[in-house]
Copies of this chain bind each other. A is one copy, B any other.
Amino acid sequence: MSQESDPLTPELARLVLQVADRLRAEFRRAAGRLELPVAQAALLARLEEPTPMRSLAEVLSCDASHVTGIVDGLERRGLVERRAAPKDRRVKLVALTDEGCRRRAELGESYRSGIAPVLALPEEERRALHESLGRVVAGLDEAR
């Protein structure tokens, strides 16, 4: 209640959103360099272990039906494959192929080199920023 009238809060929000927009743009650019639709790149980036479709929907915070199309696309490109889950035959595990593993690494490098100049700050400031934002994120669940 005491913070509602603090003029720094909306200003802070504006800055966060502005930086986030640029980071997203850099991800789009990285995906574009690999000629991947953003949705496919986003899934690729988050895929390490073989993972059920359902879990991917949660990670990407989208509907499960949407994941089908994204995985279809990645499978057509030979970057992932669907495997039967050993325990539950309803479940399909999405797993990286060797090529998918390589492309995923490329994507990561491309993205990181894109955002490095954006987040370029003196080392001490970077650490402080990391700590503060970490605190904010840690508080996200309890806020409201």
Contact = CB atoms under 8 A, between A and B. Distances in A.
Interface of A: 3-4, 6, 8-13, 15-24, 108-109, 111-121, 125-130, 132-137, 139-140, 143-144
Contact of A18 (B18, B119, B137): B137
A17 B26 CA distance: 12
A94 B76 CA distance: 48
Contacts of A15: 130, 133-134, 136-137
Tell me the number of copies of this protein.
Answer: 2
A27 to B, nearest CB: 9
B132 A118 contact: no
8 contacts: A9-B119, A12-B119, A12-B126, A15-B137, A20-B20, A121-B132, A121-B135, A129-B132
A119 to B, nearest CB: 5
Nearest to A129: B132
Contact of A139 (B16, B118, B126): B118
Given A8-B130, A120-B143, A115 B18 contact: no
Given A8-B127, A12-B129, A15-B136, 9 more contacts: A9-B112, A10-B112, A15-B133, A17-B20, A19-B133, A117-B143, A118-B140, A119-B136, A121-B136
B130 A11 contact: yes
B132 A4 contact: no
